[in-house]
């Protein structure tokens, strides 16, 4: 039977081939799922490691959230040297040289501040500069504090004072209160500034009973009124003392916002090398409370990072890819500002000032994470990557989330360009 | 690309099933040109050919576990079947049907001169098939290359058997005229 010519046509074209469209294999390969049995163990190990990293990150995150904000109350340091003051025209206050241990114990939140054994007095009291660790906050002084020379120059001794000395102290204090009341007519003293020198004296090692601490601090009530008589002094509570002479700093470091633009070279079907640029914005708020004065510093830092990550592809579908990655990153602070606002009794005391914050050293870190990438095109994908990173100390004194929480949970999102062999 | 022997093909198949990307690539290289030609006979648009081929290969390599090797040619037939199905899926997704329904059986056109296909190169034949109107081309492909009956074609394309037959009838007439024209021009040179 003669074949139909259509059959002969089909036979002629049976093995006929045409060139494949350009880039077809790359498109096919990028969409193929990883189903390797050999890779199974590695894949599961990778998935387990990624899950562990995310869990650890979440753990640290929740742990950190529980700890925030960082409240660090402590006594401001005295900047001026301890020395006998120049002859004071009008004594503003008199400072006894001994304070019972009970007073020190009454301020539980006071952080350790080096204190001399003797009663330190600084005249006049300057606005306190931040300490070297930047934990100290500005303490304002509206009224220069002056102390009679004889009181300031009094030397503390561990030996029990004799009764004559005690009586002299009490007499001198009462005389001073009476004089102050008559001159100031109930004039106001701002407790914030007074705290600088007086609080420092709280660590003095005097024995109890030599001087009533309530009397000692009563001149600086929260309201600022100077008690005219020693009898009224007794009503001042110790909590008021704490409030007046304690500076409380609250730090709040927001979790960085990260956006990336990365390039990944797929070295093999599974492993890849990735780099790119990662922008991070760090925001920290420092709130210092000293009496009625509240100082707020809003710090914003902008970092540009260069990561170098080894990536492991764990699973791949037509449009998505699940992967884990790990590696170092170096970041550079490209800009930074600190906005400072001071308010007294809830009212802004001055215009908000802004200054540049420079961080010259590079910031190094290592990190690991697990990410999901959704393909927009054959080469470009949109990724979201939770992870965990550890930031090394950059050696500066600037407080950042990297320094306060070096090991932290991260979340990065961005665009990725993929290149395959 | 030289086609591998049955043993070689089976070996590559096993490796590809284990996720060996090199073996997968070798299987791809073996059959990509054949499947491109097959796909091109169904779809005239180059970008459509690419899309369909991509989908077909992903389906092929994603379902290697389900393929049962039955000797030489079985893998090629299976891959071709998937590719054709993907091409038909694309054709069916179009809003306007390329098939003109024919209510009556149309007789074989009188005087159809049987073309001497053997004298025409494969590339020229391929080009002539591609130039056929889409409805004719699809039915001709399924009938001549996939060896489907009109009933099967009617089910695959959602048309009547009469329509399938009429489309094939017209495709034959169109193609034979083209081939004869080609041969005539060649002999004139």
List, for residues B56-102, the tens digit of each pLDDT value: 999 999 888 888 888 888 999 999 999 999 999 998 887 666 665 55
Q: What is the mean pLDDT of each run of 10 residues along chain A (421 residues)?
A: 82 91 88 58 62 61 50 41 40 42 39 38 37 40 42 44 61 57 40 33 34 41 44 55 72 90 88 94 91 90 95 82 93 95 86 90 94 88 93 91 90 91 65
Residues from chain B contacting residue A33 (CB–CB below 8 Å): 62
Spell B112-122 as b/e; 16+ CB within 10 A means b. Answer: eeebebeebeb
- The reported pLDDT for the residue numbered A361 is 92
Do residue B145 and residue A12 have CB atoms under 8 angstroms apart?
A: no
pLDDT above 70: residue B4: yes
Identify the residue among A7, A8, A12, A20 best suited for mutation to test binding to B, counting B beta carbons within 10 A and taking the highest.
A20
- The reported pLDDT for the residue numbered A102 is 39
Do residue B58 and residue A318 have CB atoms under 8 angstroms apart?
A: yes
Return the structure tokens found at A103: 């007073």
Q: How high is the ipTM of this complex? A: 0.87
Of A16, A28, A37, the CB nearest to B37: A16
Min Cα–Cα distance to chain A from B49, Å: 8
Closest chain B residue to A11, measured at CA: B145
- A282, burial (CB in 10 Å: exposed 0-12, middle 13-18, buried 19+): buried
DSSP A18-63: -PPPTTHHHHHHHH-----STTHHHHHHHHHHHHHHHHHHHHHHHH
Residues from chain A contacting residue B118 (CB–CB below 8 Å): 8, 12
Collapse the DSSP code of B148 into the 3-class scheme (helix H, G, I; strand E, B; otherwise coil) and give the result: coil
- The reported pLDDT for the residue numbered A257 is 82
Closest chain A residue to B55, measured at CA: A28
| Angle in degrees, CA A187, A192, A195, rounded to 5 | 105
Min Cα–Cα distance to chain A from B151, Å: 18
| Angle in degrees, CA A3, B5, B56, rounded to 5 | 75
- The reported pLDDT for the residue numbered A40 is 56
SS3 string, B32-53, reads: HHHHHHHHHHHCCCHHHHHHHH
Spell B34-62 as b/e; 16+ CB within 10 A means b. Answer: bbbbbbbbbbeeeebbbbbbbbbbbebbe
Name the residue with higher pLDDT: B17 or B95: B17
**Which region, left, alpha or beta, applies to residue A37 given φ > 0 means left and ψ of -120 to 50 means alpha?**
alpha
Q: Residue A78 and residue A339: Cα distance in Å, rounded?
A: 25
- Cα separation values, A186 from A93, A180, A220, A224, B130, Å: 14, 8, 12, 9, 106
Do residue A38 and residue B114 have CB atoms under 8 angstroms apart?
A: no
Chains A, B: CB contacts within 8 A come to 96
pLDDT above 70: residue B43: yes
Of A9, A21, A32, the CB nearest to B117: A9
Q: What is the mean pLDDT of chain B?
A: 87
DSSP classification of residue B143? I
Do residue B37 and residue A29 have CB atoms under 8 angstroms apart?
A: no
CB atoms within 10 A of CB A405: 20
């Amino acid at each position: 039977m003669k074949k139909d010519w259509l059959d002969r046509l089909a036979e002629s074209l049976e093995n006929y081939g045409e060139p494949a469209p350009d880039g077809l294999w790359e498109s096919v390969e990028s969409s193929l799922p990883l189903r390797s049995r050999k890779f199974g163990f590695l894949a599961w190990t990778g998935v387990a490691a990624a899950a562990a990293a995310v869990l650890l990150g979440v753990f640290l995150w929740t742990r950190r959230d529980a700890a925030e904000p960082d409240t660090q109350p402590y006594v401001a340091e005295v900047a001026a040297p301890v020395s006998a003051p120049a002859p004071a025209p009008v004594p503003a206050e008199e400072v006894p040289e001994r304070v019972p241990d009970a007073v020190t114990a009454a301020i539980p939140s006071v952080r350790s501040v080096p204190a001399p054994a003797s009663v330190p007095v600084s005249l006049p009291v300057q606005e306190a500069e931040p300490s070297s660790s930047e934990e100290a906050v500005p303490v304002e002084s509206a009224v220069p504090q002056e102390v009679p020379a004889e009181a300031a120059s009094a030397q503390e001794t561990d030996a029990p004072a004799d009764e004559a000395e005690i009586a002299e102290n009490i007499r001198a204090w009462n005389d001073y209160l009476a004089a102050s009341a008559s001159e100031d007519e109930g004039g106001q003293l701002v407790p914030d500034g007074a705290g600088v020198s007086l609080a420092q004296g709280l660590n003095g090692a005097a024995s109890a009973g030599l001087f009533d601490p309530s009397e000692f601090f009563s001149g600086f009530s929260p309201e600022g009124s100077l008690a005219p008589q020693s009898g009224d002094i007794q009503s001042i509570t110790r909590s008021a003392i704490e409030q007046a002479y304690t500076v409380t700093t609250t730090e709040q470091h927001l979790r960085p916002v990260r956006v990336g633009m990365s390039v990944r070279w797929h070295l093999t079907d599974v492993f890849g090398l990735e780099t790119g640029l990662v922008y991070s914005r760090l925001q920290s708020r420092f709130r210092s409370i000293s009496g009625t004065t509240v100082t707020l510093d809003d710090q914003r830092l902008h970092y540009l990072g260069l990561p170098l990550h080894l990536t492991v592809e764990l699973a791949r579908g037509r449009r998505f890819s699940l992967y884990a990655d790990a590696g170092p990153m170096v970041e550079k602070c490209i800009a930074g500002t600190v906005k400072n606002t001071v308010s007294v009794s809830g009212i802004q005391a001055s215009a908000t000032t802004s200054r540049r914050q420079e961080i010259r050293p590079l910031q190094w870190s290592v990190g690991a994470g697990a990410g999901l990438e959704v393909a927009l095109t054959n080469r470009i994908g949109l990724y979201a990557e939770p992870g965990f990173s550890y930031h090394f100390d950059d050696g500066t004194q600037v407080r950042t989330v990297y320094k306060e929480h070096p090991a932290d949970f991260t979340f990065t999102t961005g665009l990725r360009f993929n290149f395959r062999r | 690309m030289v086609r591998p022997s049955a043993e070689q093909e089976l070996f590559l198949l096993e490796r590809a099933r284990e996720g060996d990307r090199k073996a997968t690539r070798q299987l791809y290289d073996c059959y990509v040109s054949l499947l491109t030609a097959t796909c091109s006979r169904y779809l005239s648009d180059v970008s459509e050919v690419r899309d369909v081929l991509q989908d077909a290969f992903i389906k092929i390599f994603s379902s290697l576990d389900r393929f049962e090797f039955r000797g030489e040619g079985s893998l090629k037939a299976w891959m071709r079947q998937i590719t054709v199905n993907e091409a038909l899926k694309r054709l069916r997704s179009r809003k306007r049907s390329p098939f003109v329904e024919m209510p009556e059986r149309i007789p074989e056109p009188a005087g159809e001169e049987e073309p001497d296909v053997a004298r025409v190169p494969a590339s020229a034949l391929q080009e002539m098939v591609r130039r056929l109107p889409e409805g004719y081309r699809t039915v001709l492909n399924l009938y001549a290359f996939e060896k489907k009956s009109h009933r099967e074609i009617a089910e695959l394309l959602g048309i009547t058997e009469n329509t399938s037959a009429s489309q094939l009838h017209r495709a034959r007439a169109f193609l034979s005229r083209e081939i004869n024209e080609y041969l005539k021009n060649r002999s004139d040179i």
